[in-house]
Amino acid sequence: MPKTPDSARSDTAARPGSTRRGLLFGGAAVSATALLAACTSNEPTKKDKTPATDNRPAADSAPGKKVTIGFAGPQADHGWLNAINENARNRAKKYADVTLDITEGSNDTAAQIGQIQTLINKKVDVLVILPTDGKALTQTGLAAMKAGIPVINLDRAFASPQASRCYVGGDNYGMGLNAGRYIGEKLKGKAGAKVVELAGIDSLELTRLRTQGFDDALKNYPNITKVARQAAEFTVESGQAKMAQLLQAQPQFDALWNHDDDQGVGALRAIAQAGRKDFLMVGGAGAKSAMDAIKADNSVLKATVLYPPTMSASAIDLARALGQGKGIGGIAELEIPASLTLYSAVVTRENVDDYLPTGFN
């Protein structure tokens, strides 16, 4: 399950002529809030049409300096995590000069540390790490950086900014904020409107941020009251069980904000079983099943707020740029950014065709 970044991160700018190790701990203190256009100033080639894959132009596939990228993530036991792996693989295939060494993936922290140490011992050029637990993997990130291997920390943030050269992740607060704004605009003319929330795992910081963003957005709509909140576990089964409880406890409400499209599959089952059609639903993350339902317009699901798994494709772009000593196109700096936070777009029936190619199974 995707986790949120720590607070804003910064590095000290490296001077020209610095050693490789010096560059790892330096870099431009730049943050970006949109998707990368390309990782180098090379010309783009044809787009990838594979579902759940980044559709942006890749950099020129004409060989440059060869780069071996080590990729270590958790076990793909969730649709979003599987899409993370697929995006990384598909992006790497676009480059004749990139070799991707990807681990099997594990939800056991010790096992992932061992996998990353193996990649360090292989002396890969760049590491992309989506930690099972950012805090627990911090020392491993630091070890790689000290060994002269730049690290791109994906999604779940390390406890120290020194453990990576660049952070790439989604915007959990923005997910909740945009979900709340969408619902607020839909209900702003309705007096006494009521909303409910089907959250994710409450022990995770990402869940707190998604709820906080949602609540902050609703403050701008005094006619709307959140009357209930239930936490699920990012699974189909938990979504169905917890949604059934919400429906039983709340015989009438106008909108539902569901944090995750995987658990949303179960929520929609519970809603159909209850025969309820009297409210609108907004999902989260961007599963293909959610986008298909939005396009069909045959259920209460009217929108989903993205948490793009394409972030791993952007991480491959950045890793290639790091390995080749390049910056990225579209910005003036000579170095890649220190962080990249992706935007949580709202997918509706009006724009769903634009986002369907990024939908994950």
pLDDT one-digit tens code per residue, 284-322: 999 999 999 999 999 999 999 999 999 999 999 999 999
Q: Which of these ranges, 52-61, 82-91, 260-269, has the smallest mean pLDDT?
A: 52-61
Instruction: Report the percent of the chain where pLDDT is more than 90.
Output: 75
Which has more pLDDT, 260 or 330?
Answer: 260
Whether the pLDDT of residue 106 is over 50: the answer is yes
192: left (phi over 0), alpha (psi -120 to 50) or beta: left
The angle at the Cα of 317, spanning 312 to 320, to the nearest 5 degrees, equals 120
The pLDDT assigned to 208 comes to 95
Helix (H) or strand (E) holding 236: helix 236-249
3-state secondary structure 74-102: CCCCCHHHHHHHHHHHHHHHCCCCEEEEE
Instruction: Look at residue 15 and tell me if it is in a domain.
Output: no
Whether the pLDDT of residue 32 is over 50: the answer is no
pLDDT, tens only, 64-99: 899 999 999 988 888 899 999 999 999 999 999 999
95 plus 160 within the same structural domain: yes
Q: How confident is the model at residue 137 (pLDDT cuts 50, 70, 90)?
A: very high
The domain in which residue 73 lies consists of: 20-170+309-343
Q: Please give the distance of CA 14 from its chain centroid, rounded to a whole number.
A: 28
245 plus 339 within the same structural domain: no
Return the number of other C-beta atoms located less than 10 Å from residue 46's C-beta.
Answer: 9
CATH of the domain at 186: 3.40.50.2300
99-116 per-residue burial string, b: 16 or more CB within 10 A, e: under 16 = ebebbebbeebebbbebb
331 plus 246 within the same structural domain: no
Please give the model's pTM, rounded to 2 decimal places: 0.79
Instruction: Look at residue 110 and tell me if it is in a domain.
Output: yes
Q: How confident is the model at residue 61 (pLDDT cuts 50, 70, 90)?
A: low
pLDDT, tens only, 189-206: 999 999 999 999 998 889
56 plus 163 within the same structural domain: yes
Whether the pLDDT of residue 155 is over 60: the answer is yes
217 plus 274 within the same structural domain: yes
Instruction: Look at residue 351 and tell me if it is in a domain.
Output: no
74 plus 207 within the same structural domain: no
DSSP string, 288-311: HHHHHHHHHT-SSEEEEEE--TTH
Domain count, the chain: 2
The pLDDT assigned to 74 comes to 87
185 plus 69 within the same structural domain: no
CA distances from 222 to 195, 196, 357 (A): 12, 15, 37
Instruction: Look at residue 232 and tell me if it is in a domain.
Output: yes
Q: Which of 3, 2, 7, 12 is nearest to 338 (CA)?
A: 12
Instruction: Look at residue 207 and tell me if it is in a domain.
Output: yes
Instruction: Look at residue 352 and tell me if it is in a domain.
Output: no
The pLDDT assigned to 64 comes to 85
